[in-house]
Chains A and B, each alone.
Chain A
Amino acid sequence: MLDTNHLLEVKNLKTYFPVRSGIFLTAQAQCKAVDDISFSLQAGETLGLVGESGCGKSTLGKTIARLIKPNNGSIHFQNTDITTLGRKKLKPLRKDIQMIFQDPADSLNSRHSISNILEEPFIIHGIGNAKHRKKRVCELMKKVGLQANAIDRFPFEFSGGQRQRIGIARAIALNPKLIICDEPVSALDVSVQSQVLNLLMDLQKEMQLSYLFIAHDLAVVKHISDRIAIMYLGKIVEMGEADDIYQRPRHPYTRALISAIPTPDPRKKSKRQILVGDVPSPINPPSGCPFHTRCPHVQDICRTKLPLLRNTAETDQKKHTVACHFDL
């Protein structure tokens, strides 16, 4: 049964990439970038997705935007199954799901003026005439805090923070319902980062947007999200309300992540819990629990049996799930 309140419902989603080698480039193995992920997102809600490089968080975002075709599982958007829709049927849907990318220098065409870049979504979807489009572009510029008279300039004439504002303007041009933000502030300096985060929060209130906010910085994610999902090696290991995850982290990986964040307070030079080793390769993930190679609480069962996401012991209205064999 699908809950009609959900804007987005992802079930058992799997995205694998073949690893090719040899002279005939035959698939030798599979890289399980997204491995059996389920979650849902309400209208107007922000779900933060946190994990280290290579954990599959960007692949998950791109799969949901259907830039990548999943191998298995389902994606329902507004109760429509979009898992296997073709190009033509996806087109009207693209208005509703937009993306903001990490590096605004790479995601804006350097040979197009800002007005060309912002006009393009309207042209692709055949909305309005030239005059109307121009008016909308000026409105968008104002909405993201840029001057409307700058529309004839080119991306290189703007700073990193301003370019990211242009990226945001393009994403909100067609009044989408869901925006997938893939590390939108990671490339920005702190003083500009907070400006962009404020803009994203203001737009969300104004336009009732839902965000899937992908980042590796837990402090940023916690600030902007209602719920947080922690990913490790293609799987969600813990998911719950943002405050709950921060105050009562249940998975040893979440705890290590929180304790690894350097706090901007010189008197809190606390003893950090430092994880040993590196993240294993998603091509050849460990048996059992994917985290067992670095877990400080590892037991025999962890090496053989994969823990599934389950509700934590004190289950209440607030849903908090964790994939660990033990109640730590």
Chain B
Amino acid sequence: MISSLDNSSQQLTSETILLEVKNLVTAFDTDAGQVTAVDDVSFSIQQGQTLGIVGESGCGKSVTALSIMRLLPQPMGHLLGGKILFKGQDLATFPIEEMRKIRGGQIGMIFQEPMTALNPVHRIGKQLSEVFLLHQDITNEEAFTKAIELLDKVGIPSPQIRIKEYPHQLSGGMRQRVVIAMAIACKPALLIADEPTTALDVTIQAQILELLKELQQEMGMSTILITHDLGVIAETCDEVVVMYAGRVAERGSVYDIFENPKHPYTQGLLASIPRLEDERKTCMQTIEGMVPGLLDLPSGCRFQNRCPLREDKCAERQPPEEQIGPDHYVSCFRHSET
């Protein structure tokens, strides 16, 4: 496994890259016309690493995850362009039957709300062993034994009893552990976690993040963690992608993003988090204005109406993504002045 500290100096080679997303474009049909929720998004993730995707509601982070899994709501969701290279194969062109084998097998997914991710009318055991039965050639009894082992692995006490219970009998934290168990059942190479702790309390969030970290180290899998919480990103991720209104504003190592942010949006976001060590009752830094709607995006840079560094050029065309470090990329005309 690649250690998290020396990854920035490591050259990106095709052997270590597990997933590479290239120029992904995803759109939805709505009553008011087609909206592009994800526009020209590119990033890559190496084996054993954690990539964080951070951004505010509606920035396209969840749609990116659904696009990778090919789980876009039908018939209104469309993958309009780009490549999703997973172990060298392009998932964007995979037939649906092949994709079913990948989901839950090679790529696991954890959803935000553990209550809706579990079926309320089936016992935990049935839902868990289903994963094994779908992806492996084993008997019901073997699958059930494996399910009990799995519950034990994700830290659920007395798994023999819990396995016979229904989702509503478990607490929020327990349910999320079950969802994690389902996602890692077939030892996936990639785990996509979409806001896995947002619905949980801080003390339970700490438990779940710790569990994910342990499992990742043990199984050597890569993780994509989608969250709006910069604190969670800083604690768990190696690489970070900052998204704004469907585009990547900035991406780089966690140290690039937190210690040397170059995009005015990243800087504004970092400045507006309340921190415990701040002086009390002082005026907090904000980003003025609000996110533009996807239906009436400005031409040019999408952050221009809130940007302190806006100039005429920003309204005319999209700033291209420029490489400014070993793997630090930013989409801003004025990144050298920030």
Q: Report Cα–Cα, A261/B269, bound state, in Å.
A: 18
In the complex, which residues 225-261 of chain A have their Cβ closer than 8 Å to any Cβ of chain B? 225-226, 242-243, 246, 256-261
Contact of B284 among A194, A262, A274, A276 (CB under 8 A): A194
Query: B239-257: contact bitstring with A at CB < 8 Å (1 yes, 0 no)?
Result: 0000000000000001100
**Contacts A194-B284, A262-B231, A278-B171 given; does A52 touch B202 at CB 8 Å:** yes
In the complex, which residues 273-316 of chain B have their Cβ closer than 8 Å to any Cβ of chain A? 273-276, 278, 280-281, 283-288, 290-291
Q: Report Cα–Cα, A257/B204, bound state, in Å.
A: 10
Contact of A275 among B203, B229, B230, B231 (CB under 8 A): B203
Q: Across the interface, which residues of B come within 8 angstroms of A274, CB to CB?
A: 203, 206-207, 210
Task: Contact check, A265 vs B258: say whether CB atoms are below 8 A apart.
Answer: yes
Minimum Cβ distance to chain B for residue A200 (Å): 11
Q: Report Cα–Cα, A225/B276, bound state, in Å.
A: 12
Task: Contact check, A242 vs B280: say whether CB atoms are below 8 A apart.
Answer: yes
Q: Determine whether A11 belongs to the interface, using a CB cutoff of 8 Å to chain B.
A: no
Task: Contact check, A265 vs B274: say whether CB atoms are below 8 A apart.
Answer: no
Q: Determine whether A174 belongs to the interface, using a CB cutoff of 8 Å to chain B.
A: no
In the complex, which residues 171-228 of chain A have their Cβ closer than 8 Å to any Cβ of chain B? 189-195, 197-198, 201, 216-220, 222-226
Q: Report Cα–Cα, A160/B234, bound state, in Å.
A: 26
Contact of B275 among A195, A259, A264, A272 (CB under 8 A): A264
Task: Contact check, A195 vs B286: say whether CB atoms are below 8 A apart.
Answer: yes
Q: Determine whether A279 belongs to the interface, using a CB cutoff of 8 Å to chain B.
A: yes
Chain B interface residue count, Cβ-Cβ cutoff 8 angstroms:
46
Q: Determine whether B228 belongs to the interface, using a CB cutoff of 8 Å to chain A.
A: yes
Q: Determine whether B186 belongs to the interface, using a CB cutoff of 8 Å to chain A.
A: no
Q: Determine whether B217 belongs to the interface, using a CB cutoff of 8 Å to chain A.
A: no
Contact of B204 among A161, A192, A201, A278 (CB under 8 A): A278
Contact of B276 among A52, A261, A275 (CB under 8 A): A261
Task: Contact check, A216 vs B231: say whether CB atoms are below 8 A apart.
Answer: no
Task: Contact check, B201 vs A269: say whether CB atoms are below 8 A apart.
Answer: no
Contact of B281 among A162, A190, A224 (CB under 8 A): A224
Minimum Cβ distance to chain B for residue A73 (Å): 27
Q: Determine whether A53 belongs to the interface, using a CB cutoff of 8 Å to chain B.
A: yes
Task: Contact check, A197 vs B274: say whether CB atoms are below 8 A apart.
Answer: yes
Q: Across the interface, which residues of B come within 8 angstroms of A265, CB to CB?
A: 234, 258
Q: Determine whether B215 belongs to the interface, using a CB cutoff of 8 Å to chain A.
A: no
Looking across the interface, which residue of chain B has its beta carbon closest to that of A218?
B276
Task: Contact check, A159 vs B290: say whether CB atoms are below 8 A apart.
Answer: yes
Q: Determine whether A80 belongs to the interface, using a CB cutoff of 8 Å to chain B.
A: no
Task: Contact check, B229 vs A256: say whether CB atoms are below 8 A apart.
Answer: no
Q: Determine whether A22 belongs to the interface, using a CB cutoff of 8 Å to chain B.
A: no
Q: Report Cα–Cα, A223/B291, bound state, in Å.
A: 25
Query: B180-212: contact bitstring with A at CB < 8 Å (1 yes, 0 no)?
Result: 000000000000000000000111111101100
Task: Contact check, B56 vs A191: say whether CB atoms are below 8 A apart.
Answer: yes
Q: Report Cα–Cα, A258/B275, bound state, in Å.
A: 11
Looking across the interface, which residue of chain B has its beta carbon closest to that of A220?
B274
Q: Report Cα–Cα, A255/B254, bound state, in Å.
A: 27
Task: Contact check, A161 vs B290: say whether CB atoms are below 8 A apart.
Answer: yes
In the complex, which residues 263-322 of chain A have their Cβ closer than 8 Å to any Cβ of chain B? 263-269, 272, 274-276, 278-279
Q: Report Cα–Cα, A256/B276, bound state, in Å.
A: 14
Q: Report Cα–Cα, A219/B232, bound state, in Å.
A: 14
Contact of A262 among B229, B258, B280, B288 (CB under 8 A): B229
Task: Contact check, B171 vs A198: say whether CB atoms are below 8 A apart.
Answer: no
Q: Report Cα–Cα, A15/B167, bound state, in Å.
A: 29
Task: Contact check, A263 vs B235: say whether CB atoms are below 8 A apart.
Answer: yes
Q: Report Cα–Cα, A52/B206, bound state, in Å.
A: 13
Task: Contact check, A264 vs B174: say whether CB atoms are below 8 A apart.
Answer: no
Q: Report Cα–Cα, A268/B230, bound state, in Å.
A: 13
Minimum Cβ distance to chain B for residue A141 (Å): 16
Minimum Cβ distance to chain B for residue A3 (Å): 24
Minimum Cβ distance to chain B for residue A217 (Å): 8
Task: Contact check, A269 vs B281: say whether CB atoms are below 8 A apart.
Answer: no
Task: Contact check, A246 vs B276: say whether CB atoms are below 8 A apart.
Answer: yes
**Contacts A266-B254, A272-B210 given; does A197 touch B284 at CB 8 Å:** yes
Contact of B280 among A191, A222, A257, A268 (CB under 8 A): A222
Q: Report Cα–Cα, A323/B4, bound state, in Å.
A: 42
Interface of B toward A, CB cutoff 8 Å:
56-57, 171-174, 201-207, 209-210, 228-235, 254-255, 258-259, 268-270, 272-276, 278, 280-281, 283-288, 290-291
Q: Would you mind naming 23 contact pairs between A and B with Cβ atoms under 8 Å apart?
A: A52-B202, A159-B290, A160-B57, A189-B228, A191-B286, A191-B287, A194-B274, A198-B284, A216-B201, A217-B274, A219-B274, A220-B274, A223-B280, A262-B209, A263-B231, A263-B275, A264-B231, A264-B233, A264-B273, A264-B275, A266-B235, A266-B259, A274-B210
| Inter-chain pairs besides A194-B274, A223-B284, A274-B206, 12 sampled, C-beta below 8 Å | A189-B291, A219-B274, A223-B278, A226-B280, A260-B202, A260-B203, A261-B231, A264-B230, A264-B273, A264-B275, A268-B234, A274-B210
The 7 closest A-B pairs by CB, nearest first: A262-B231, A189-B56, A52-B201, A191-B287, A194-B284, A194-B272, A260-B206
